[in-house]
A and B are shown apart, each in its own frame.
Chain A
Amino acid sequence: MKPSNIAGFYVARLRARVVQELFAVAGIAVGVALLFASQVANTSLSGSVDQFTRAVVGRATLQLRARDPQGFPASMVGAVQRLPGVLRVAPVLEANAYLVGATGRQVVDLVGVDPSLGSLGGALARHVTSTQLAGRSALALSASVSRRIGTGWRRPVEVDVNGHSTEVAVGSVMGKAEIGGLVDSPFAIVPLRFEQRLVGDRESITRILVQPRPGREGRVRAELARLAAGRLNVLPATSDATIFHQAEGPASESTGLFSAVSALVGFLFAFNAMLLTVPQRRRLVSDLRLDGYTPAEIAIVLLCDALMLGVAGAIAGLLLGDWVSRHLLEASPGYLSLAFPVGSQRIVTWQCVVIAASGGLLAACVGVLNPLRAIFAGSLPPARERSSQSRLGILWVTVGGLVCLGVSTVILLAGVQTVQLAVLASVSLLAAMLLLLPALLGAIVFVVDRGQREVLDASRRLALIELQSSTVRVRSAAIAATGAVAVFGSVAIEGARHNLAAGLNRAAAEMALVTDLWITSAGTGSTLATAPFQANFDRMLSHLRGVRAVRVYRGSFLDIGDRRALVMAPPRTAIQPIPPHQIVQGNLVHASALLQGHGWATVSQALAGELHLHVGKRFMLPTSRPATFRLAAVTTNFGWSPGVIVVNADDYARAWGSSDPSAYQLELDPGVPPVAAQAEIRRALGPRSGLSVQTAAQRESIDRATQEQGLDRLRQIALLVLIAAVLAMATAMGAMIWQRRARLASMKVDGYDERELWRALLYESALLLGAGCSIGALFGLYGQLLLSRTLATVTGFPVVFSVAGASALTDVVLVAGVAFAIVAIPGYLAARAQPRLQCG
């Protein structure tokens, strides 16, 4: 057969079944859209950090980086420039700053640069050259930041950094034309010397970007390491992107799992749609065989169908997915924006497009080639034989499901030790559900049938007869599987999210409620208290009315390998230096006592695993003045996925070589309301202090909001999956009912009236949708346990274990209920069909 003949043949047949084909295209499109949108959301976060990092570093491949926010002397730039093999260098001073404009505020990465950065050729440096800002006390902003905080060219903006607040004029606003996708990144550029004034340290920088001469990178790296003398880090210039990738890992993996669930729902949607056209294709196969076409020729004809449907579905799906990712799926940076310049830009990679489109084509091929056995069989087996084959098939499928369930259970009981095992267990559980579904569905219908034996209701009997009919079993299973997969995903991941959120909230409360008031630098530094400030207010604060005690808290981020760990250094005299529920190994009372001594630390689980630590073991921290600690206990990560280290504030000052506080913890006299004391302290600090004063409750609530923002994406995808599942089930069920109109009409001849037939359809739909969703919920609860265990053991998140039974029930009622309500309409119309007799 020539390709033109095949295409012509397809078009000729299309005219006769255009509605079914459009439905199939819609099914594929929804699947592709879900897959595409969730992938875009996933890649946008890491893509934005990657984009920003590359825009700053340009052609630099190495960097000398400070191990603390205070940085190192700018005089080292000359020493680096003189190293053999170095072509270009550029000093950079970075700090988290809080910009306050006329209508809003925004945390930004404040980047201080000098003209040398332009020579590295980074996209950012090309547009923010020294000519725009040189010698000026001004800053350059991206248009989106400018818009968000309500400022513009030459207008003032308040910059809060390191506890100092300064009013600065905006010297440049960069739009999309100048900096492309970076327009959505949260940054501000200032001349290096000006930023040094803003942070209150005229000599410091935080990194030196280095472009070695061609072929000299190894040599330069060695020279930089010698110069660093173990007090600075020598890293690839783009290490921020690598570190962010590690930090984003857990969120990315959970979104990835959800992407897989989305893809499966989409695939089932498409498969349901394709099942509608199976009878026609079976007839086509039969006709072509009778007309003497070879199996290969028939397969080509069907593959042509798949290609047409797949391509149309993939194109429509990519367009729909693009819209969904723009309008419905936000890429929320969440808590990671506290340590990385995460932008809100949408980044679409070619991999996203290829994976989503391939998924659509695959669904089309599997659906179209459903009658494959009929193509290649020597002769079709008689009906009775087919029936026994079908029973045997279900038996094997059930055995396969039980094996998969066993695999998941063994992994769960063994404690889910690695991410790979967690993925295997989740996939195995999903497979178990799909393989066991036909048997479970059959069992549910059987039990309901048994329970209805004595009920004299013709509608219910008709519904049960239809559900037990062997000819609609595949279609029924496909519809139930759609609901089951969606509810499984929603219950498992939403449940795990709920457990994680509960754990994070408890950790936030335990960290915030250790004192009455917190004073931190404004902006991101306030959330985790990681931005040290140069101030010496303890005496002034301790003399304020109602203040009982003032304690110094220190903290920052520390890069260890690919991890940007959070370092928390509560006061040495803190009664509760470790949040009580966060201990994984060790004794809380003993570890707390050790932390009040000298040279002890706790580290989080994943970090302890990576550094091969156990309680009591000595280890070295790569701080600016490397120091040795002993491990007092192993903790959860308190919600900071790369890991957490707790030392006391005095040990911190020794190891980091800085006595700057990053927070003051204030204890109030009994009976003094925190809000009143907060107002008093704000007055005492004055309007230009650049410090933030929070009550413990306010701090806890901000922590919660930040943590939950990071988990929003899962909730959004869960909602989309549920919507898609409702649509898929409703349309497939509706189509199945619609195709049955003639038979329903004929039942009127046997004395059934419209109401009885409609009730029968509703009962059948309710049973099928309810059973599918319930099976999904049951497996979803198992999945919740599995994912929660994974989060706790593999990534060390503070998880509170619970079974979200109420949430699962809500999902079942919601998905099955909405689909049922939609199906009621075609059901009503189908029940009204009039009988047509065959005679003259």
Chain B
Amino acid sequence: MLELVDLVKHYRVGDGEPVRAVDGVSLTVGPGELVVLYGPSGSGKTTLLMLIAALLRPDRGSVRVAGREITALSKRDAARYRRQELGFVRQSLDLIPGVRTGDNAALKLFGAHGPREARRLVTPLLERLGLGERLGHRAEQLSMGERQRVMIARALSTGPSLVLADEPTGSLDTQRGREVLELLREVCREQRVATLLVTHDPRAAAYADRVHALCDGHLTEHEPGREFVPVPSAEAGACEPGSAS
């Protein structure tokens, strides 16, 4: 479903050495598969997600989603791709303040459906995510975990073939974080959605089909099923993941 081939993106900051944000990354995520990607700050995770979301163009390499090359899409086609084929769950909780849960979750459906129809379409999803009694609440009336679930509903509302999740448990307590990860895995498996989850949360590995680490723009594979202890910074020699019992 998602296929990255030898993806390269370098930046030049001022007159200094180029930053190798993504340096020859190749990765495949199949339908219904959940891949967790760990990496310390500055390891290139943001750049990789932006390349997959067609918000950045790579210097080299290929990004294929459902067999379609997306690196050469026009701005308009890239937007359409993000709205229809991609679901993006962010840490930043970009809900519109003062707006009800139904409308916030249905944000991606408005171009194709009227407001009532859009709300009708997301309602089962919100109920599935445990927000059936929160449909009429405004964003600021929801807890952090509920807001995160609205973002998941928004991401899944268009029936995407690929979901990118950026630190979905970053602002949640242990219990809520576990619930969100479980939900994400269940829904992705049910709907056969390829999911790439970028996180610092070591428990995420337990829900993953595969685990990768990204360091200095390079991708390394990790044994799945084991809890992962990520190294918090990208200082020299600190990129190798450790393991915990």
In the complex, what's the smallest C-beta–C-beta distance from A135 to chain B, in angstroms? 85
A723-752: CB near B (< 8 Å → 1, else 0) gives: 000000000000000000001001111111
Question: What residue of chain B has the Cβ atom nearest to residue A462's Cβ?
Answer: B110
Contact status A470-B55, CB under 8 Å: no
Contact status A837-B80, CB under 8 Å: no
A743 to B96, CA, bound (A): 8
A198 to B114, CA, bound (A): 86
A837 to B56, CA, bound (A): 12
Judge whether A753 is part of the interface by a CB distance below 8 angstroms. Answer: yes
Judge whether A468 is part of the interface by a CB distance below 8 angstroms. Answer: yes
Contact status A752-B166, CB under 8 Å: no
Contact status A471-B98, CB under 8 Å: yes
Q: Is the interface of A mostly helix, strand, loop or mixed?
A: helix
Contact status B141-A384, CB under 8 Å: yes
Contact status B166-A839, CB under 8 Å: yes
Judge whether A754 is part of the interface by a CB distance below 8 angstroms. Answer: yes
B81: A residues at CB distance < 8 A:
751
Among B49, B86, B92, B96, the residue within 8 A (CB) of A751 is B86
Question: What residue of chain A has the Cβ atom nearest to residue B157's Cβ?
Answer: A750
A387: B residues at CB distance < 8 A:
138, 141
A447-473: CB near B (< 8 Å → 1, else 0) gives: 001000111111001100110111111
B154: A residues at CB distance < 8 A:
750
A752 to B112, CA, bound (A): 12
Among B44, B49, B79, the residue within 8 A (CB) of A753 is B79
Contact status A753-B75, CB under 8 Å: yes
In the complex, what's the smallest C-beta–C-beta distance from A340 to chain B, in angstroms? 58
A461: B residues at CB distance < 8 A:
110, 115
A746 to B104, CA, bound (A): 13
A717 to B99, CA, bound (A): 40
Indicate whether A453 sits within 8 Å of B114 (C-beta atoms), given known contacts A748-B55, A749-B90, A839-B167.
yes
In the complex, what's the smallest C-beta–C-beta distance from B193 to chain A, in angstroms? 16
A455 to B40, CA, bound (A): 46
In the complex, what's the smallest C-beta–C-beta distance from A60 to chain B, in angstroms? 70
Question: What residue of chain B has the Cβ atom nearest to residue A740's Cβ?
Answer: B96
Contact status B138-A749, CB under 8 Å: no
B186: A residues at CB distance < 8 A:
none
Contact status A456-B112, CB under 8 Å: yes
Contact status A750-B98, CB under 8 Å: no
Among A384, A472, A753, A756, the residue within 8 A (CB) of B98 is A472
A131: B residues at CB distance < 8 A:
none
Contact status A473-B98, CB under 8 Å: yes
Indicate whether A465 sits within 8 Å of B111 (C-beta atoms), given known contacts A749-B55, A751-B82, A839-B166.
no
Contact status A750-B88, CB under 8 Å: yes
A838 to B171, CA, bound (A): 12
In the complex, what's the smallest C-beta–C-beta distance from A438 to chain B, in angstroms? 14
Judge whether B223 is part of the interface by a CB distance below 8 angstroms. Answer: no
Judge whether A84 is part of the interface by a CB distance below 8 angstroms. Answer: no
Contact status A469-B97, CB under 8 Å: yes
Indicate whether A752 sits within 8 Å of B79 (C-beta atoms), given known contacts A469-B96, A840-B40.
yes
Indicate whether A458 sits within 8 Å of B76 (C-beta atoms), given known contacts A749-B90, A751-B86, A839-B166.
no
CB under 8 Å from chain B, chain A span 419-464: 449, 453-458, 461-462
Contact status B166-A455, CB under 8 Å: no
Contact status A835-B49, CB under 8 Å: no
Judge whether A383 is part of the interface by a CB distance below 8 angstroms. Answer: yes
Judge whether B103 is part of the interface by a CB distance below 8 angstroms. Answer: yes
Question: What residue of chain B has the Cβ atom nearest to residue A749's Cβ?
Answer: B88
B68: A residues at CB distance < 8 A:
none
B165-186: CB near A (< 8 Å → 1, else 0) gives: 0110010000000000000000
Among B80, B111, B140, the residue within 8 A (CB) of A383 is B140
Indicate whether A838 sits within 8 Å of B40 (C-beta atoms), given known contacts A465-B96, A465-B99, A469-B99.
no
Judge whether B41 is part of the interface by a CB distance below 8 angstroms. Answer: yes
CB under 8 Å from chain A, chain B span 128-148: 137-138, 140-141
Indicate whether A838 sits within 8 Å of B90 (C-beta atoms), given known contacts A457-B111, A472-B98.
yes
Contact status B90-A746, CB under 8 Å: yes
Question: What residue of chain B has the Cβ atom nearest to residue A753's Cβ?
Answer: B79
Judge whether B39 is part of the interface by a CB distance below 8 angstroms. Answer: yes
Judge whether B84 is part of the interface by a CB distance below 8 angstroms. Answer: yes
Contact status A751-B110, CB under 8 Å: no
Question: What residue of chain A has the Cβ atom nearest to residue B78's Cβ?
Answer: A753
In the complex, what's the smallest C-beta–C-beta distance from B201 to chain A, in angstroms? 12
In the complex, what's the smallest C-beta–C-beta distance from B164 to chain A, in angstroms? 9
In the complex, what's the smallest C-beta–C-beta distance from B231 to chain A, in angstroms? 12
A383: B residues at CB distance < 8 A:
138, 140-141
Among A470, A473, A834, A837, the residue within 8 A (CB) of B49 is A837
CB under 8 Å from chain B, chain A span 515-559: none
Contact status B40-A750, CB under 8 Å: no
B98: A residues at CB distance < 8 A:
468-473
B212: A residues at CB distance < 8 A:
none
In the complex, what's the smallest C-beta–C-beta distance from B83 to chain A, in angstroms? 2
A750 to B46, CA, bound (A): 16
Judge whether B107 is part of the interface by a CB distance below 8 angstroms. Answer: yes
Judge whether B159 is part of the interface by a CB distance below 8 angstroms. Answer: no
In the complex, what's the smallest C-beta–C-beta distance from A792 to chain B, in angstroms? 47
A796-840: CB near B (< 8 Å → 1, else 0) gives: 000000000000000000000000000000000000001101111
Give 28 pairs: A residue, B residue, CB < 8 Å, sorted on A. Answer: A384-B141, A453-B114, A453-B115, A454-B114, A456-B113, A465-B96, A465-B103, A465-B107, A468-B98, A468-B99, A470-B138, A472-B98, A473-B98, A746-B90, A747-B107, A749-B94, A750-B83, A751-B80, A751-B83, A754-B75, A755-B76, A756-B79, A835-B50, A837-B92, A838-B91, A838-B170, A839-B45, A839-B167
A752-B83, A837-B90 provided; 13 other pairs, C-beta below 8 A?
A383-B138, A462-B107, A469-B96, A747-B94, A749-B94, A750-B108, A751-B80, A751-B81, A837-B166, A839-B45, A839-B166, A839-B167, A840-B39
5 nearest A-B residue pairs (beta carbon):
A751-B83, A469-B98, A471-B98, A753-B79, A458-B111
Query: Interface residues, chain A, CB within 8 Å of chain B?
Result: 383-384, 387, 449, 453-458, 461-462, 465-466, 468-473, 743, 746-756, 834-835, 837-840
